[in-house]
Structure 1
Amino acid sequence: MPPKLIPVFTGTARYRGAYGGRGSGKTASFALMTAIRAYQHAMAGESGIILCGREFLNSLDDSSMGEIKAAIRETEWLAPHFDIGERYIRTKSGKGRVDFSFAGLRTNVDSLKSKSRILLAWIDEAETVTSLSWSKLVPTVRANNSEIWVTWNPEREQSATHQRFRANMDDDMKIVELNWRDNPWFPAVLEAERQRDLKSRPEEYDWVWEGDFRKLVAGAYFAKGLTEAKQQNRIGFVAPDPLMTTRAYWDIGGTGAKADACAIWIAQFIGTEIRVLDHYEAVGQPLATHVEWLRSKGYDKAQMILPHDGAAHDKVYKVTYESALREAGFAVRVIPNMGAGAATKRIEAVRRILPQCRFNETTTQGGREALGWYHEKQDEKRGIGLGPDHDWSSHSADSFGLLAVDYQQQPTSTRQPIQYKRLR
């Protein structure tokens, strides 16, 4: 196996795993190790199940069965110890018997409790496993010295798998990052594919091959513009100009667990350059929380730019965001309703102004991820687009669209390069 995986399978651990991009060899390695573990348990006189799961599993064709069969058959000393059928894998040597079981966690996790003794659970393609599935699976794997193995290609930092196994690693976890360069047997055919993606699909290269989070979605509205910003070094440290107006562009959310997110972008227009300084997003929080963030970051003097619904009265309190922010001491301006096709107008405006943007890397990361994800919702049956998908990314995208529209509406004189006089 790749040398980087040897420490993962050395010593004791409750959790073992690997994450990373394509071509790393992690799936093949873990498939082989599940078979070796099954053999070890059987030879030690232990009986039970090796559970191989994924969040979604419609049939055995979608499972890890094929990988495990191949690993056993290709390992000369291991093959004689297994009975392999079209729809099953089990040990046939030793004092005990170990069977492989394949299940989809989303639909079968409750039934796992009725399974016989689970010695090991290997969850492949674990990026999509939900927090609920993990909370049900973990206590099900409760035999003495039982283990849970996890392999996945990262996609979102907010995923339940990342939060459980990377963001909050414990001492009983042995988990490593594994990418193509860590695989001594990385094949030439995949090297050709990697080079092709590097050249033709740079917006997805880091996610597919380098194990990075998926910051851009192929076909997303702003993927090309953000890729160019990275290539042209327009994402890095960006300092504010203390003499220029600072603007805060809002997409208004609400309060409560099911409310839309509130998103804010902080920017300055300096000549023909747009300095994007900061980004904020919160779900279900009151206005006071947003105001506290603005003040804590030193944006007391920033001009608040609200969408047209910022002037709409709240059904309960009979106040508006506009009036509440004015009362809090902020300068406020409301952008009029853009009418029919407003979403399309915002998208086109963002595409036009992205080449003029410079992003402060650390403080705008979450916002750039949202922009990179924002994409067309598709009717797969009819093969047509249905407009922007209203998902987690749309709130930050809408507030950035407000920024773009407002920039284009600024007097031309404010967008001319600044002229500096030489001091004599």
Structure 2
Amino acid sequence: MTAGKSNSMVARIELPPKLIPVFAGEARYRGAYGGRGSGKTRTFAKMAAVRGYQLSQGGEEGLIVSAREYMNTIENSSLAELKAAIASEPWLAAHYDVGEKYIRTRDGRISFAFAGLRHNLDNIKSKARVRLVWVDEAEPVSETAWRKLIPTVREAGSGIWVTWNPESRGSATHKRFREKPPKGARIAALNWRDNPWFPPVLEQERRNDLENRPEHYAHIWEGDFVTAVEGAYYAKALAKAREDGRIGHVAADPLIHYRAFWDIGGTGAKADATAIWIAQFIGREIRVVDYYEAQGQPLAAHINWLRQNGYGSALAVLPHDGATHDRVHDVSFDSALREAGFEVQIVPNQGAGAARLRVEAVRRLFPAIWLDEKRCAAGIDALGWYHEKRDENRNIGLGPEHDWASHAADAFGLMAIAYEMPPVRQQQGRRYQGDGFKNTSWMAG
């Protein structure tokens, strides 16, 4: 990328390739999100300094505000990043006056101000001629803060830049700049592999985290939401699956039969959720193409979802309680699904230690599992969170924690158990094989 200079020469600015479109052309909103080591903060610091240079060279006056949600002292700001970015470009360094706690252009037209949005937002609103606001570490910024901040940046040609490491789908920053970004916004995802200057020291740290702290790896390095906790059963397997490219777009094979693996919930307001994974067993691969979860809904709602999404002929694989009659309607899921036209397979109760058996089966099979990142997003989050309940006083594990993530995990574990079940003769020409349930007549997959 190039920037004009007053002597008609052109300065060359090196950026990570993914950020070149972000800074090309006119845009009020520019941003980047992702994990550690991506170079996004240093790049935005450099481009903020370039913007200050351009403004001063054009005879403009005003402020560039570098903001964070929390900034109790100047040491908590982006001052150090801006200083380093300016120092890295001799032509920028020649144009700026950089002090211990200030940065301004040598002609005095453009100055940098530093502010914390949580406690100093009104102070920003009172500042005159704000030309640019760059909000770094923007994940925790509240919707209230965004609503107050954005109208204060109102000079012609002014801009709002945002950089953040994602943590929650519910954050105001995620909803405002990823789910429903402003029209014309230029925002990119950026992670360590997108940084051409990713340093060897960080590469070693990345590998250490992948090996020793897998429950946090995807969030720290891949820019994922925080979905795992200490003791997460599948954190390492999920991190390896991402590393191998097995979490992404997964195409279904139209010639292979679908399987729907259930964890059965109830119909009350406080009942457990019903979870369903849709998968195909293709050779030695398990391709997981969709995920569904609903709480308090009747069986008809689950069946409608299956039919509306093209899984109306899927084999319904139920846990052992699928044959148990519902206390309210005196009908089992097994019989109700058969009545609705589905083939049904009941996986026998594994007895004591069934949860552990499911966990171990999933871990064994994970190298052969492919997950559709978009359609299975909620289920993947649940798998990342599913963890051991611990007695902290005695420092012992008590088995899987039964919480919001356990329904998805139980259905996923059922899939692994069904895949690994040994050959057992069944009625009506159906049989189990080592690669999963087979139909001796027309069902090919």
- 1:68–1:389: structure 2 CA closer, same or farther, 3 Å change rule? farther
Within the candidate set 45, 51, 68, 1:31 is matched to 45
Within the candidate set 102, 114, 118, 2:115 is matched to 102
Query: Could you say what secondary structure the match of 1:293 adopts?
Result: helix
1:398 aligns with 2:410: yes
Matched with 1:264 is: 276
Distance, in Å, in 2 between the alignment partners of 1:379 and 1:94 is: 64
- 1:23–1:331: structure 2 CA closer, same or farther, 3 Å change rule? closer
Residue-by-residue CA offset, 1:51-105 (whole Å, 9 max, x unaligned): 4224x556654432321233345555547744644xx43537546564512325x
Matched with 1:52 is: 67
Distance, in Å, in 2 between the alignment partners of 1:390 and 1:246 is: 25
Query: Could you say what secondary structure the match of 2:261 adopts?
Result: strand
Within the candidate set 5, 9, 12, 2:26 is matched to 12
Unaligned residue ranges in structure 1 (runs of 5+): none
1:250 aligns with 2:263: yes
Q: In terms of mean alpha carbon deviation, does 66-75 or 370-379 score higher?
A: 370-379
After superposition, where does 1:18-417 map in structure 2 within 5 Å? Answer: 18-38=32-52, 44=59, 46-48=61-63, 50-54=65-69, 60-72=74-86, 78=93, 81-82=96-97, 84-85=99-100, 88-89=101-102, 91=104, 93-94=106-107, 98-104=111-117, 107-108=118-119, 111=122, 114-117=125-128, 118-127=130-139, 134-135=146-147, 137-153=149-165, 161=173, 164-166=176-178, 168=180, 172-178=184-190, 183=195, 185-190=197-202, 211=222, 213=224, 220-226=232-238, 239=253, 246-252=259-265, 262-267=274-279, 275-283=286-294, 286-287=297-298, 288-296=300-308, 297-300=310-313, 302-303=315-316, 305=318, 308=321, 313=327, 322=333, 328=340, 330=342, 343-344=355-356, 346-354=358-366, 358-359=369-370, 361=372, 365-366=376-377, 367-368=379-380, 370-376=382-388, 388=400, 393-404=405-416, 412=424, 414-416=432-434
Q: RMSD across aligned C-alpha pairs, in angstroms? A: 5.3
- 1:301–1:125: structure 2 CA closer, same or farther, 3 Å change rule? same
Residue-by-residue CA offset, 1:333-388 (whole Å, 9 max, x unaligned): 78799898765554344335546x54464786433454244344789999887865
Query: Could you say what secondary structure the match of 2:409 adopts?
Result: helix
Distance, in Å, in 2 between the alignment partners of 1:248 and 1:139 is: 50
Residue type at the aligned position of 1:221: Y
Residue-by-residue CA offset, 1:147-171 (whole Å, 9 max, x unaligned): 1112234567786655544565565
Distance, in Å, in 1 between the alignment partners of 2:88 and 2:392 is: 40
Query: Could you say what secondary structure the match of 2:307 adopts?
Result: helix
- 1:156–1:245: structure 2 CA closer, same or farther, 3 Å change rule? same
Q: Does the Cα contact within 8 Å between 2:420 and 2:434 map onto a contact in 1?
A: no
Residue-by-residue CA offset, 1:21-72 (whole Å, 9 max, x unaligned): 5444321121233344456657745344604224x55665443232123334
For these two proteins, the number of residue pairs brought into alignment is: 407
Residue type at the aligned position of 1:281: Y
Q: Shift in Å at residue 261 of structure 1?
A: 5.2
Q: TM-score, structure 1 length as denominator?
A: 0.68
Residue type at the aligned position of 1:70: A
Distance, in Å, in 1 between the alignment partners of 2:235 and 2:405 is: 13
Q: Shift in Å at residue 399 of structure 1?
A: 2.0
Distance, in Å, in 2 between the alignment partners of 1:57 and 1:385 is: 40
- 1:97–1:206: structure 2 CA closer, same or farther, 3 Å change rule? closer
Query: Could you say what secondary structure the match of 1:266 adopts?
Result: strand
Residue-by-residue CA offset, 1:4-37 (whole Å, 9 max, x unaligned): 3455434421111234554443211212333444
Unaligned residue ranges in structure 2 (runs of 5+): 1-12, 426-431, 441-445
Q: Shift in Å at residue 277 of structure 1?
A: 4.6
